[in-house]
Structure 1
Amino acid sequence: MKTLRSWFGFTCSLLVFISVAGFYLPGLAPVSFCEEKSEDCQDEIQLFVNRLDSVESVLPYEYDMFDFCKDNEEKRPSENLGQVLFGERIETSPYKFKFRKDQPCQKVCTKSYDTSKVEDKTNLEFLKRGMQLNYQHHWIVDNMPVTWCYDVEDGQKYCNPGFPIGCLVTSEGRPKDACVINSEFNKKNTFYVFNHVDITITYHSGENESWKGARLVGARLDPKSIKHSEENSQSCEGPPMEIPGQFSGNLELTYSYSVKFEATDQIKWASRWDYILVSMPHTNIQWFSIMNSLVIVLFLSGMVAMIMLRTLHRDIAKYNQVDQGNLLKIHLQTAITYEEAQEESGWKQVHGDVFRPPQMGMLLSVFLGQGTQIFIMTFITLFLACLGFLSPANRGALMTCAVVLWVLLGTPAGYVSARLYKSFGGENWKTNVLLTALLCPGMVFADFFLMNLILWVEASSAAIPFGTLVAILGLWFGISVPLTFLGAYFGFKKSVIEHPVRTNQIPRQIPEQSFFTKPLPGIVMGGILPFGCIFIQLFFILNSIWSHQMYYMFGFLFLVFIILLITCSEATILLCYFHLCAEDYHWWWRSFLTSGFTAVYLFVYAIHYFFSKLQIQGAASTILYLGYTMIMVLIFFLFTGTIGFFACFWFVHKIYSVVKVD
């Protein structure tokens, strides 16, 4: 019932989002706070807690798994589909504040552990394991992350949207992670729990504004480790809270907090996320990535322009003049024989075979249908993200938008697949439609389900509930598959695609190819330039996924998307032209695989990122990383392959449509 209610809430929230998104970007309406509660003004600030994650483990866990203080009236706000798929588990906490009422030292709760009891020992070991792997809290106030800001290199300040639950000093005396911030953390083989936080909430008063009350524009905290006793219970000061690595006996762990409010009129509510985003110094690197990609695009554009304006123009002009009636005149004017003219233009000699249907045309058409669906979904999602609809303030909106769009775009997938398959001369239309609707989504779902089984076994918060899996299957088979059949119906109903030249009955023999015009070297080289345009941007995307950093530069990402689109098209056109000049007319699959091979470089880079940037430990985390990476690689393969194919398809049609063939 809970799953059904959450899905009903998701549907309603989606409709509300569509109807009200035009009034405010990026989405959520502001909340006003006053010292006295009223209809349009709240007096209590509720702090929410989210899942805990780590850069050393792919497995996130819910807040309650670590035996922290719980809210007596625990409530979970409704979560959208994207939040569920990303494993976000938001719930209320016992940290509740009255607006503009500073509280210097407040006890939250005390946890007692007796290692002679199995449950207490298990909870304490799990807490120590979390500190060893540097698991991070993620707290939320008024839909804003509570940040931990600290100084980094060059005097800059970095604001992390999370803070560690504790840290460890190893048996060699080496402080790990956050233990380097305090010289008192110096005992060997000792864990230090951050059981106290100093919270500072910044607000923008509405004295000179049109709205009543105040609005929160910032929330920061400073984690501390304090061993509480009756003497320091009023001041929250004292030695750090230590847990020996080899501990036995009884342990009392008290959690506390202090909160203070600061007023500022310099920060507007609409720009309250800026201090988090500005602290991430990636803008200059992003511009370098864009300029690097533009250089590649200009180089490829120049090459394509040279072919189209010089080589093809000259060849087509000569070829169209060559006929039996004016052959002597051509000899006298150009001193070029008919055979020499034909030798100069090897791509024209295969005009009778260039549109011969490819082998495994069924599979190619299925891939292209799915690639079209992914391409349209990606374009619309990034466009909406650029407008601000899918900003970090709208939690889970990016994934929700992508999934909903994919489900609703089954019609273009079925249409493109059926149209191409019919042009290839295929007759098994039922098999084509079923494969288009089930093959690639089935591979993704199978991989996703296996990864979910591992998450279930590990009791991770990222494990998708069974009811949600059933709902996803319902969206797939109840909406996407019927829409795919509808698109295939219109695709098969349309006439066969008209090609500019006729296909000979007997295939032409392909001459011996040089090393660079053979299929495999050309395909391998074709993916290098598109990958060169995205690999810097790819680093930030992988950081946001696996290192839990906030990604917000959707404008840069959309520019890179357009550059990738152009680069894949131009690189495929160039290689396609070279292969046709070598009289190799098997361009159908080659055009798809040339740009699709970029996904192989993506996989290689992901493996490099795993070993060089991450410190993931454990077999489960490694399998999860590889499993989710394979899903990304498959989607990227279909996406880039489809771009290259249709660019080459347009190019081949263009050049052969102006050639006169007797």
Structure 2
Amino acid sequence: MRLLAAGLLLLAPLCAAFYLPGLAPVSFCDDDKESEGCKSLIELFVNRLDSVESVLPYEYDAFDFCQDKEEKRPSENLGQVLFGERIASSPYKFTFKKQETCKKVCTRSYDPENSADKSKLAFLKKGMQLNYQHHWIIDNMPVTWCYDVEDGQKFCNPGFPIGCFVTPDGRVKDACVINSEFNKKNTFYLFNHVDITIMYHSGKDENWPGARLVMARLRPQSYKHTDENNLSCEGPPMEIPGEFTNKLNLIYTYSVTFEEKNNIKWASRWDYILESMPHTNIQWFSIMNSLVIVLFLSGMVAMIILRTLHKDIARYNQIDSSQLHWKAELTEDLCNAIHPFTSEDAQEEFGWKLVHGDVFRPPRKGMLLSVFLGQGTQIFIMTFITLFLACLGFLSPANRGALMTCAVVLWVLLGTPAGYVSARMYKTFRGEKWKTNVLLTALLCPGIVFADFFIMNLILWVKGSSAAIPFGTLVAILAMWFGISVPLTFIGAYFGFKEKPIEHPVRTNQIPRQIPEQSFFTKPLPGIIMGGILPFGCIFIQLFFILNSIWSHQMYYMFGFLFLVFIILLITCSEATVLLCYFHLCAEDYHWWWRSFLTSSFTAVYLFIYAVHYFFSKLQITGTASTILYFGYTMIMVLIFFLFTGTIGFFACFWFVSKIYSVVKVD
């Protein structure tokens, strides 16, 4: 369910001091000093392989690499399964502080006469052609590959490529640019050797036994080993010709060294990964710049609303006080009939006051609106709690899969507020089909998400991807949905229908008032389109980095700033919706229910447009399956964002309208 994550990738730097690692610390000792609390064996685990050119990740075992004879798989939480993480043990095992040079791991042989060998080698070549990346783990830390980039800076990637490819026309692709020897046309170069450096804190002046690992880096190399009994890890690179005609032997080797680094604390050992991420300085500057702009615009919107509305209420109350002695004696219909002649100036200047008898008229399609509001409330609470926990460090990158697990579990447990809000609003809209309302609240939006996700999962299953969710997990998700979320929604709906309808400050006329001709800017569609611009403006910079973390496999860690942007988004959605709602009421257009929801939820449309732009301008994804998967998951993210922002805008506008019509007493 990469879906919810897409709408949820969230928080940490503001709370960096409260960082909670994902696993308990492990101490390492020399081989002759091993004890129960201090071990000498360092195991390297492998995760799925992914690529920026494909949405389809694959397990390590899908490629014909060296495999552990006694393969172990750590238990995976729900979030890891939904994200397609497949962690397994590997044959790369080290002894603490024992140096190894050019040690053989295994040999893989391929015969062009053997169809199975041809298939395995073809799949390996495809992985190199699409630039698939290894992801290795030592002591729960990503093993990073660091290399120099522009301006003498160093970039560390939590993965390294299988190999690289030089096209038949001589174009050097991807990692082949790092070595001038990778120059033969229509040739694949396999990284069959790694130089691993493990850095540790010796434990000096600390209260723990032994040493603790604080950093792990590697450098991929390509060597053509000719004699597996006499390995030197020197010489020409390991070439795999584009045309497989002769027998081929691939020998995998590694070297490992250990370095003492007592200046790196174990609690901050992930900092070296975060500090070396690309565009960090640009991201900080862009976030601050965006924050200043959004705060300025939000302040301007608030000032316009408060000053203008205060002026309207004060002047209208002044008019009311001079006419109160005879207005109280007139019926409402008679008052409406003579009002244009007795207070013509007030009608022109205070248009929002003239629609008091229609402003709370129930909207069309109130059933659907109430269902959207219930689901939006559920998503809002889930997002807020998830972000807050992530800000405290409980959902840090070290705790793999915790973010997704937390989001899914919270969504399941928050069925009660969804049912309550939906039922309460539907009753306020004077709806009577309460059974339909409850069923739609529990099934409509989750059903759309699950159907989309199920189709995406079928594509992943057909392609043999590791991201395909096992059947047992699908059954577990359905059990959580129907066994926990649906009953909780029914309970919430029961209490919602039991409550009295929300009382409005003014009565609704029996005969709807005619809406005058509207200008272009006060018509529904232009207002809705304009309303989504300001909220989108405060998130698009963060959205770029979130999409990078999802589709370009970069690590996202700016959770604290994301939480701040989340709060700004709430304020901006609320203020933009209230401002446009006020303008429409001033134009005597009282159809604000749906418009208030759609004004802020139109931000999701801009999000989709940006995702399309990102796909064509930033990504290198190829293939029909990957394209379908990208837009399938994007549509889930857009739906979640649509419900979330629409609900925020609606309730802000609902509060605003109720407030202004209760301040000016109209009977």
- TM class by shorter chain equals over 0.9
Equivalent residue in structure 1 for 2:22, among 19, 24, 27 = 27
| Structure 1 match to 2:450 | 445
Match of 1:259 in 2: 256
- Tell me, yes or no, if the aligned pair for 1:346 and 1:582 is still in contact at 8 Å: yes
Tell whether 2:55 aligns with 1:64. no
TM-score by length of 1: 0.94
Asked if the contact 2:41–2:94 (Cα under 8 Å) also holds between the matched residues in 1, the reply is: yes
Distance (Å, rounded) in 2 between the aligned partners of 1:72 and 1:573: 64
Q: How far apart are the structure 1 equivalents of 2:524 and 2:276?
A: 47
- Mapped partners of 1:271, 1:325: distance in 2: 70
Partners of 1:596 and 1:519 in 2: how far apart?
Answer: 14
- Secondary structure of 1:322's aligned partner: helix
Q: Deviations over 1:28-87 (max 9, x none)?
A: 211000113211011100000000000000000000111100001001000000000000
Counterpart code for 2:605:
V
Where does residue 292 of structure 2 map in the other structure? 294
Output one character per residue of 1:160-218: Cα deviation in whole Å (capped at 9) or x when no partner. Answer: 00000000011111210000000111101100000000000000001321100000000
1:193-232 map, 5 Å: 193-230=190-227
Moved over 4 A (4+): 323-329
**Deviation at residue 293 of structure 1 after TM alignment:** 3.5
Deviation at 1:320, TM superposition (A): 2.3
1:186 aligns to 2:186 (yes or no): no
State the distance in 2 between where 1:472 and 1:529 align.
Answer: 36
Match runs of 1:509-548 below 5 Å = 509-548=514-553
Q: Which runs of 5+ in 2 are unaligned?
A: 1-16, 327-340
- Cα distance in structure 2, aligned partners of 1:382 and 1:292: 20
In 1: Cα distance, 2:556 partner to 2:507 partner: 51
Post-superposition CA distance 1:309-366 (Å, at most 9, x none): x32222212322334855899xxxxxx9721022210000000000000000000000
On the 8 A contact 2:18/2:393 being kept in 1, the answer is: no
Task: Supply the distance in 2 between the matched residues of 1:563 and 1:157 (Cα, whole angstroms).
Answer: 33
Q: Deviations over 1:224-278 (max 9, x none)?
A: 0001122883321121000111121210000000001001111011111111110
1:148 corresponds to which residue? 145
Q: What residue in structure 1 maps to residue 657 of structure 2? A: 652
Question: Residues of 1 paired with 2:135 and 2:228: CA distance?
Answer: 31
Q: Cα deviations across residues 558-592 of structure 1 (Å, max 9, x unaligned)?
A: 01101111110010011000000000000000000
Q: In 2, distance between residues paired with 1:140 and 1:128? A: 24
Q: Aligned to 1:77, what secondary structure does the other structure show?
A: coil
- CA distance in structure 2 between the partners assigned to 1:31 and 1:252 by the alignment: 38
CA distance in 2, matches of 1:361, 1:660: 27
- C-alpha distance in 1 between matches for 2:321 and 2:235: 102
* C-alpha distance in 1 between matches for 2:135 and 2:537: 35
1:24 and 1:591 mapped to 2: Cα distance?
40
- Of 587, 590, 594, 1:585 maps to 590
In 2, are the aligned partners of 1:531 and 1:601 still within 8 Å (CA)?
A: yes
Amino acid at match of 1:150: Y
- 1:243 paired residue number: 240
> Pick from 142, 158, 163: which aligns with 2:160?
163
SS at match of 1:441: helix
Return the alpha-carbon distance in structure 1 between the equivalents of residues 286 and 235 of structure 2: 48
Among 75, 78, 101, which residue is 2:75 paired with? 78
CA positional deviation for 1:23: 10
**Are the counterparts in 2 of residues 294 and 563 from structure 1 also a CA contact under 8 Å?**
no
Aligned ranges 1:413-492 → 2 under 5 Å: 413-492=418-497
Q: Secondary structure at the match of 2:591?
A: coil
Partner in structure 2 of residue 9 of structure 1: none
Offset at 1:618? 0.6
Decide which moves more: 348-357 or 234-243. Answer: 234-243
State the Cα deviation string for residues 493-531 of structure 1 (Å, max 9, x = none): 111101111100110000000110000000001001111
CA RMSD of aligned residues (A): 1.7
SS in 2 for 1:379: helix
- Is the partner of 2:65 in helix, strand or coil? coil
- C-alpha distance in structure 2 between counterparts of 1:548 and 1:652, whole Å: 45
1:95 to 92, 101, 110: 92
Amino acid at match of 1:582: A
Change (3 A) 1:24 1:319: closer
Answer yes or no: is the 8 Å Cα contact 1:407–1:480 preserved in 2. Answer: yes
Residues of 2 paired with 1:526 and 1:231: CA distance?
A: 68
Cα deviation, 1:401-436, whole Å, max 9, x if unaligned, reads 000000010011001000000000011111101100
CA distance in 2, matches of 1:629, 1:193: 34
Give the superposition deviation at 1:463: 0.2
Provide the secondary structure at the position in 1 that maps to 2:538: helix
Corresponding letter in the other structure for 2:29: C
Structure 1 unaligned segments of length 5 or more: list them: 1-21, 330-335
Do residues 315 (structure 1) and 306 (structure 2) align? no
Letter in 1 for 2:611: A
**Counterpart amino acid of residue 299 in structure 1:** L
Distance 2:321 2:416 in 1: 50
Query: Does the CA-based 8 Å contact 1:232-1:238 persist in structure 2?
Result: no
Q: How far apart, CA to CA, are the structure 2 residues paired with 1:303 and 1:553? A: 28
**Which of residues 123, 128, 133 in structure 2 aligns to 1:131?**
128
Superposed displacement of residue 25, structure 1: 1.2
Cα distance change on mapping 1:581 and 1:205 into 2, 3 Å: same
Mapped to 2, the partners of 1:257 and 1:209 lie a distance apart of: 32
Q: 1:615 aligns with which of 620, 629, 633?
A: 620
What is the aligned length? 635
Say which of 98, 106, 109 aligns to 1:109.
106
Report the CA distance shift for 1:421/1:322 in structure 2 as closer, same or farther (over 3 A): same
Distance 1:23 1:152, change over 3 A: closer
| Residues 627 and 133 (structure 1), Cα distance of their counterparts in 2 relative to 1, 3 Å cut | same
Are residue 568 (structure 1) and residue 593 (structure 2) matched?
no
Residue of structure 2 equivalent to 1:172: 169
- How far is the alpha carbon of 1:283 from its aligned partner? 4.0
Q: What is the letter of the counterpart of residue 246 of structure 2?
A: G
Note if contact 2:165-2:189 (Cα within 8 Å) is conserved in structure 1: yes
Which residue matches 1:277?
A: 274
2:18, 2:112 → 1: CA distance?
A: 56
What corresponds to 2:337 in structure 1? none
Q: Is the 8 A contact 2:414 2:488 kept in 1?
A: yes
Q: Is the 8 A contact 2:225 2:231 kept in 1?
A: no
State the AA in 2 paired with 1:463. A
Higher alpha-carbon deviation: 282-291 or 465-474? 282-291
Aligned pair in 2 of structure 1 residues 253, 516: CA closer, same or farther (>3 Å)? Answer: same
How much does 1:290 deviate? 3.5
Q: For 1:634-662, what per-residue CA distance to the aligned partner results, in whole angstroms no more than 9, with x for missing partners? A: 00000100010011011101111111224
The counterpart of 2:376, out of the listed 362, 371, 374, is 371
Matched with 1:625 is 630
Is the 2:136–2:159 contact (alpha carbons within 8 Å) kept by the matching residues of 1? yes
Give the secondary structure class of the aligned counterpart of 2:502: coil
Q: Percent identity?
A: 80
